[in-house]
Chains A and B, each alone.
Chain A
Amino acid sequence: METRIGVYICHCGTNIAGKVNVDEVREYASHLKNVVVARNYMFMCSEPGQEMIIKDIKEYGLNRIVVAACTETLHGHTFREVAKKGGLNPYLVQMVSIREFDSWVTEDKVEATEKAKSLIRAGVYRVNYHTPVETTTYPVDSNVLIVGAGIAGITAALVLADAGKHVYLVERQGFIGGNMAKFDKTFPTLDCASCILTPKMSAVKNNPNITLFTYSEVEKIDGFVGNFDVTIRKKPRYVREDLCIGCLSCIENCVYKEPRFMSEFDEGIGKRKPVYVSFPQAIPLVPVIDPETCIQFRTGKCVQTCLKGCPTKAIDFSMKEEIVKVKVGAVIAATGFKVFDATRDTKYGFGRYPNIYTTIQMERMLNSAGPTGGEIRLQDGSIPKEVAIINCVGSRNENFNAYCSRVCCMIGLKHAHMLRDSIGANVTIFYTDIRANGKGYEEFYRKVMLEGVNFVRGEVASIIPSENNRLTIVFEDTLLSRVRKKDVDMVILNVGLEPHDDWEDVRKVLNLTCTKEGWLMEKHPKLAPVTSLSDGRFIAGAAQFPKDIPDTVAQAEAAAAEAMSLIDRGFVESEPNVIRIDEERCSGCRMCISVCPFSAITYNEEKNIAEVNTGLCKGCGACAAVCPSKAISQNNFTDEELYAEIMGVLRE
């Protein structure tokens, strides 16, 4: 069949036409081989521009289109759709960039015009070799995997479950609720965290569309967007969830009469027994037995009073790790954060001097369900009269974390308010800047100021134990330009937020990318904040970057909506630029397998050849480049096409 090419040159207003003599270029293009028609127009992407191309396809019987305009990334899709509407295979279109590659970066008008000609010539040569490419569609599984059951994961799970999607909610800890479950009150409204979180936790437990895996981790995710195969590893909690009724008599009957071991949930300021729940309203209300501290596991010779006291005999020391496999169409990563380890910044003496706490410890201390029952006490049991809150610990400091952790200022204000309120303490906040940039936040700041909380701008240089168990703080009051000292009874270190220590492993398992600090990477910071760079995988909450509860919830709901948009569309289109492996030429060397970043190529031992899963192939072309036998070719990037393009651009 005769090749009939139409060339369309866009002015892009003055973006292109201001530098490139578009009339001259059109005239030039119209004489290139196989070009039947060449036109220029003010905005080719506009409705009249598109209509013009469609009309020409029919009128001139065009079977190849070259559009010289912006870029493939920006409008490739637009003009493929135009071809489709005109009855052509969309891949018979070639975009030529004469804006980004030419008019925007070329000073001289004559040079710009000449360059446009050569780029168009390359496009015309290339498009001669284009062949129709057919894409296939795959159905999307309607189940969703959510990793992490803090407030982000819980919110996303409930939104999806309410929409009738089935959710597998996987939580690493024994109980759901994440960090929010540790908090006492939330800023700036001072709602009690439990009062707003626990109803959502129990809704998760009771929703038939949610399958909850606690004390579990995602081991592996295979497959591709819409069709993921997830492997979940359930760690043994040694209390059977199917039998336990949550009476907690095992904890009461444990051979340890008093809690003796550091409670992780209480951030080190409370103790627990080897058999424990995080807090009395925990979900699931099924205790976990910690084999590290349980006498039965350590010696094998415990009297097992827990088991004796258990009315349903739910305690099972023989429980083993379990592997569960589920299929999902989308994944939401809501893996959260950890707080900065204050011992790293040694000038504060955390861990060395008494009565120095972190903000998260203070949350536990203020919490009426916490280890002190909400009582604020110094280590000698007395009530502190002077308290210092030190902001930006581990944050805004290039020696630790250069970023601002965003939530600490408000936490400090909240604690200052609560300490004045509950024990009437004099509270001084040491700050670098107060950042109160949410709805009602600045107002809360003013309210706390008016209550009489003292504010000093200046970071604390050192904390030294002084007489009567007090602590002397030395600092420069930068607003007064003087170095001052202050004696206090208690110091609260307002620690920043960090990614989990094992963020690198988590990232790999979930196939996501991260910033250099380890925060999950979004596809676009403004326009795609909950979409990751891997199709079908979304992100939510503080795992992306420190954020407060309102922002976390908003993001979780957005991630749920994105997942739903994928599921309800019902199908995904396959990548057009996939590779093909010529079985005859393949020598089975497997170099392609080693370079494929998407694990799309497998080795067929029987035939001694490589085989591609086109559902996984993203069309990156790495394998085609590396293949020593030229067995791999890639749609839209065949050797003929590439050589023609090179010839075109080089030829005078």
Chain B
Amino acid sequence: MINPTEVLQSFEGRMKDFIDGENFRKCIQCGICGGSCPFGFYTDFTPRRMITATRAELVNEIIESNAPWLCTSCNLCTSRCPSRIPITDALIPVLRELAMNYSHLPDELGQALTNIHRMGNSFGESNRKRAKWSEGLGFDVKILKKGEHVDYLFIVDDFGSFDLRAQEITRSVARLFKMLGIDFGILGERERSIGDHVRLAGEFGLFEEIARSNINEFRNYSFENIVTLDPHAYNSLKNEYRRYGFQSNVMHYTQILSERLQDLMKLMHPLNYTVTYHDPCYLGRKNGIYDEPRKIIESIPGIKFVEMYRNRENSYCCGGGGGGIWYDSYIRKFVKTRPAEERVIEAGKTGANVLLVSCPIDAIMFEDAVKVTGLEGRLRVMDISELILESIGKGV
């Protein structure tokens, strides 16, 4: 039995630890959060109602419900909140933390977190397989040794390292880097989870441990910038690791490609596609990178680019964030149409035959959703890097 007063006090105490955390008191109960939420239809506690419940001293009811876990951390609510309440970064993770203290969490999430804690990745794989994706590329990807220097340290993170679909994206990005003559290297078996999903899942202790250990590891190498495959890793390194003393310049791979667009354009050949683009939550809404991916897409010759209704800061979510990708079956229990399914249907309506993404989780989620919604054969899900490669390859 959870003591309502006790858990309310823990909640209020924890919220104070976050920048603007106490803004939850300024909630005007407008409900923009619930209306914006991809899971708003399926939960008893929208963020607004969570705050109402804190005011009625009913935090126990929230953490006993599924509500804390029905959040994809898409940040749409937070970006629109008129009281600037850090819903995604504080309210939800704090409630998840409290729920975990009382052992209320989806089983699969527990498994993923255990894997990260024990193995350094959510897949429970051996880290020796971290660089497996780089085999058979036709060139060697530099695996950094202690003290070695590169211009760009390429952080692949878990999905790009271990997921078969995401690995293809990692490979195409590496190929493009090679073609552009970019001096980059990876950590190979010394890479560990960056941990943004861990943080958003409410495992703040584990996240801090991961962050500190990664920062220590980075100190062994010399590099000018970090470039990430995954927008979630980008976000953590750029915004969260700072708190623990990390200072390097962080980029997402689309930013590098955008900078080197002149060189890329010399290599590309026309493609006859209509494409649309999904802004990943952690690249777009969270970090304001909307233009670089579009600039790249529009420079591919022959391509017709169409926008979905919901684009840029209003972009929808693939449903994989905040740990969602780890407990898909839990979400399926409560959610009729998953966000990814809704999103590919929306993409299909634009008349596009390619749905472009720039996040490995998007590719995984959407490809699955295309199969479920009967769009297979009509809508291809591709990473931007893959489309560029196809355009370059066509001329060969």
Contact = CB atoms under 8 A, between A and B. Distances in A.
Interface in B116-151: none
Interface string A91-115: 0000000000000000000000000
B52 A450 contact: no
Interface stretch (B18-26, B158-166, B256-264, B355-363): B18-26
Contact of B52 (A446, A449, A480): A480
B25 A456 contact: no
Contacts of B49: 479-480
Contacts of B111: none
Contacts of B26: 446, 449-450
Nearest to A484: B56
A477 interface: yes
B55 A454 contact: yes
Contact of A480 (B22, B27, B28, B56): B56
B30 to A, nearest CB: 11
Nearest to A452: B25
Contacts of A479: 29, 48-49, 52
B53 interface: yes
A516 interface: no
A385 interface: no
Contacts of A301: none
B83 interface: yes
Contacts of A452: 25
Given A479-B49, A480-B49, A449 B25 contact: yes
* Size bracket of the B interface: 10 to 19
Given A446-B83, A457-B29, A477 B52 contact: yes
Contacts of B58: 480
A480 B44 CA distance: 10
A457 B49 CA distance: 12
A455 interface: yes
Nearest to B54: A454
A450 B23 CA distance: 6
Interface in A418-458: 434, 446, 449-457
B83 A482 contact: no
A452 B12 CA distance: 10
A41 B71 CA distance: 69
A477 B25 contact: no
Interface in A443-493: 446, 449-457, 477, 479-480, 482, 484
Contacts of A450: 22-23, 25-26
B102 to A, nearest CB: 21
Interface in B47-97: 48-49, 52-53, 55-56, 58, 83
B54 to A, nearest CB: 10
Contacts of B83: 446, 449
Contacts of B23: 450
Contacts of B48: 479
Interface in B266-302: none
Given A479-B29, A479-B49, A480-B49, A456 B55 contact: yes
Residue among A446, A453, A456, A457 having the largest count of chain B Cβ atoms under 10 Å: A446
Q: Which 7 A-B pairs have the closest CB atoms?
A: A449-B26, A479-B52, A480-B52, A446-B26, A449-B25, A450-B25, A479-B29
20 contacts: A446-B26, A449-B25, A449-B27, A450-B25, A451-B25, A453-B25, A454-B55, A455-B29, A455-B55, A456-B55, A457-B29, A477-B56, A479-B29, A479-B48, A479-B49, A479-B52, A480-B49, A480-B52, A480-B58, A484-B56
Given A446-B26, A453-B25, A477-B56, 7 more contacts: A449-B27, A449-B83, A450-B22, A450-B25, A455-B55, A479-B48, A484-B56
